[in-house]
Amino acid sequence: MTIAVLLIIPVLITVVVVLSSWRMFKDVTVMIWRAYFNLGKMVGPKAYPLIGTLWQVKTNSCDLTYQLLNWASTYAYYDGSTGLVKGWIGPIPLVLVLKPENVKKLLESNTLITKAEQYGKLADTNEKWFGRRKMLTPAFHFNVLKDYQEIFSKEAQVIMVDLLEGFADTGREVDLFPYVKRCALDVICETAMSTQMNAQMGKNSEYVKAVARLSDLVFLFIRSPWLWFKPVCYGCGLGFEFDRLVKMTTDFTRQANRRQSLIDEGRMDESEIANSKKKISFLDLMLLTQKKNALSDEDIREEVDTFMFEGHDTTSSSMGWSIWLIGQYPEYQAKVHEEMDAVFGDDDREPSEADLKKCVYLEKCIKESLRLCPPVPFFARRLTHDVVMDGFTIPKDVTAAILPMGSHRDPEQWEQPNIFYPDHFEPEAVAKRHPFAYIPFSAGPRNCIGQKFALAEEKTVLSYFFRKYRVEPTTPLPGNRFVPELILKPEDGVTCHLFKRVRAW
């Protein structure tokens, strides 16, 4: 059978399931017809009834990423373009929002914060999100973040000294991505649960594998509309596999019993959170405020699981891409090495807050990596009311999606839109750019609450790495395609040759 036929079959299954619910059918039909008439003149790839644009959508994840980037450049970046691109997932409309003015309108809104149905098992309610966002803010208090620095440094030293040194100057290739990923997992486990995972040392391997597979499944659910319906999802076995893996990971979380430890330490007083000299993990915070915020034990478990997933995948993606991209440009890597020598000399000490502030060029490289390879490939919102953008009325219930990889390549905003160019983050260049042209952590009320945490972790780990090593990637540009799963991964990993540095001091 042709690819077109293979795509049509699941779409027809989707339509049949939708038709089984009259109320859903009625609401969806109204939304589709309103979108058809209101968005008729909006540009986008060719669509046909029922199958929409699926007939030309690439089935390979990597190919799909480049197709979306091509659609962005074709339909959004030309003179007079609004940066709005329409598409149809079968019969369901979708609008890509790419220009910073419209991205701002969508992300800054306090009413347009409902995640799209495509998030499926990751979606939450507005009420739950509002309450928990306010509750979690103290976990990222300045004094609390400073305390995490010790954990960042400890785990970075494990990966840099004990694990990678054996590959340096041997001529052997090493894929750094699994090492960086396990480092980030150990960091988030200790900061989220005050529990040592020891993933870098080969412990809890089943949990590590379960987390990786869950990431694959979530992205599969997001891009496969026929799997949004339980009979189809469980009928093919994927629903049962997902539930089994979720149980495995949540059982691990439940084992981290911190309540008795807090009582024993005499810290069941939330007034101590901001000024505590002891480690306050996310789990500690929620236990200390459990009564005030009326949280059940299951509520707490859900939030810890969220931090476990979102707090390590994104940072590992960013660090992996940063190493690979810096390694592609010897002149940029030399500048990073010069900065490391200027800040640390020949000292392998734990970076202080002052040290990290001096790592200005390293931070530019990390931010430029986040521009080209943002860990979260897209954000999507289900519009809870009509929204007018550049003369188009986008109807209620339509999914509006933001593609950071596309927005970050807008030639009106970036001097070298498709090239790794750290000078994009010179202060003068930043001042000239629209603030919503760069959104690796989203923006507005639903921005990433942990972005300062992530940047501090990445600068710490990479400062250790580039103090000690020079790296030569084995896959040259423009290879190593993007794999858009739950986070953006490199198709070929971060396969490199490592060389010990002879420092200038």
Domain boundaries, the chain: 141-376+440-500
The pLDDT of residue 17 is 55
Tokens representing 36 are: 């058809």
The pLDDT of residue 268 is 46
Looking at residue 427, its amino acid is: P
The pLDDT of residue 354 is 92
The pLDDT of residue 476 is 84
For 288, the 3-state DSSP assignment is helix
Contacts of 265 (CB under 8 A, 6+ apart): 278
448 annotated as belonging to a binding site for a ligand = yes
| Burial group, residue 313, by CB count within 10 angstroms (0-12, 13-18, 19+) | buried
Residue 51 exposure: Cα atoms within 13 Å on the Cβ side: 14
For the chain, residues with pLDDT lower than 50 are 1, 5, 125, 263, 268, 270, 273-274
The pLDDT of residue 210 is 78
The pLDDT of residue 474 is 93
The pLDDT of residue 305 is 65
Sign of the CA dihedral with 138 first, then 371, 433, and 431 last: positive
Alpha helices in 137-195 (DSSP H): 142-157, 176-193
Say how far apart CA 26 and CA 345 lie, in whole Å: 68
Bond from prior residue into 484 cis (ω within 30 degrees of 0)? no
Across 163-295, where does the E strand assignment appear? 174-175
The pLDDT of residue 274 is 46
* pTM score of the predicted model: 0.82
- CATH homologous superfamily for the domain 141-376+440-500: Cytochrome P450 (1.10.630.10)
